[in-house]
Amino acid sequence: MKKTILIMAVLLLSFQTTYAYSFKDVSTHNLESDCWIVFEENVYDITEYVPLNDLDIDIRTMCGKDVTRDIASTAVEGEDYKTNTYNLLQQYLIGNITLNNGNTLNTSKENPYNLVIPLLLSIILYWIPYTIIKTTKKLSLLKGFNGFWNTMLFLFLLIPTFGFGILMILKYHVPALSNIRFNFLYWHVELSIFMGVLGINHFLQRFPMYLTQLKRRRNS
């Protein structure tokens, strides 16, 4: 368990920085083939999305600009596009705005994702029940524990990682999916982190058994 916590701490530190750009940096990316925008102090490279845009707004005119006010004030038939736009833009996030000139590294307070919560939650949900079951020294409970997490890892792989990924791809081909009030990208990321940490925990817990089986095969 100590090794698990150490690994997770290293991962946590590695995800704490993001690139920051000045408005001058963004303004130089003002072409359809090189399109950056600023939205709520975050910087997005939407070059790949420009040819896919199916909204009534010509986003080519927004390249190299701060579009926060434009998006907030845009409404078609009473529908506010701010929420849908925010969900869509997250996959193109490359940094945030700084008042300094040039590119620097700084801690982003606008990062919508959380690494600490899924990391700690997965460790607590896995290792506390495992420790309790281990003290009972009942093999049947341990088998049930391993079987449960084998199933859960499969479900987390199937739904948030694979399922939400497919839905995000389909949004480009089925525009109606963009109207669903659910942030698929956010939960795709968060639940994938949760699943990944669980997978590491499960592997570390089972690793001694794998070594034992390997030794038995060599001796047989």
Regarding whether 117 and 211 lie in a shared domain, the answer is yes
Q: Do the Cβ atoms of 48 and 92 come closer than 8 Å?
A: yes
Q: What per-residue confidence (pLDDT) applies to 74?
A: 60
Q: Which of 72, 89, 106 is the last residue of a domain?
A: 106
Q: List, for residues 19-58, the tens digit of each pLDDT value.
A: 778 888 899 999 888 899 998 888 999 988 888 775 556 7
Looking at residue 107, what is its pLDDT?
A: 39
Please say whether the beta carbons of 40 and 26 come within 8 A: no
Dihedral (C-alpha) 55, 60, 61, 62: value to the nearest 10 degrees? Answer: 80
- Give the separation between CA 173 and CA 171, rounded to whole angstroms: 5
Which of 106, 130, 159 is a domain's end point? Answer: 106
Beta strand 34-39 with 30-31 is antiparallel
**Domain closes at, from 66, 83, 106:** 106
* One domain, residues 196 and 118: yes
The confidence score (pLDDT) of residue 67 equals 86
Residues of the chain with pLDDT under 50: 10-16, 75-78, 102-109
- 97 and 134 housed in the same domain: no
Please answer whether residues 26 and 36 qualify as being in contact, where contact means their C-beta atoms are separated by less than 8 angstroms. yes
pLDDT tens digit sequence for 181-195: 777 778 888 888 888
DSSP string, 10-39: HHHHHTS-EEEE-HHHHHT-EETTEEEEEE
- Cβ burial of 160 (10 Å; 0-12, 13-18, 19+) is buried
| All residues at 6 or more sequence positions from 74 whose CB lies less than 8 Å from its CB, including other chains | 57, 81
Instruction: Write down the pTM of the prediction.
Output: 0.46
CA angle in degrees (0–180, nearest 5) for 144-146-150: 115
As a whole number of angstroms, the distance between CA 86 and CA 211 comes to 47
Range of the domain at 182: 2-11+113-219
Six-digit token string for 33:
């083939």
Instruction: Of 97, 23, 102, give the one whose Cα is nearest residue 65.
Output: 23
Asked whether residue 96 falls in the same domain as residue 156, the answer is no
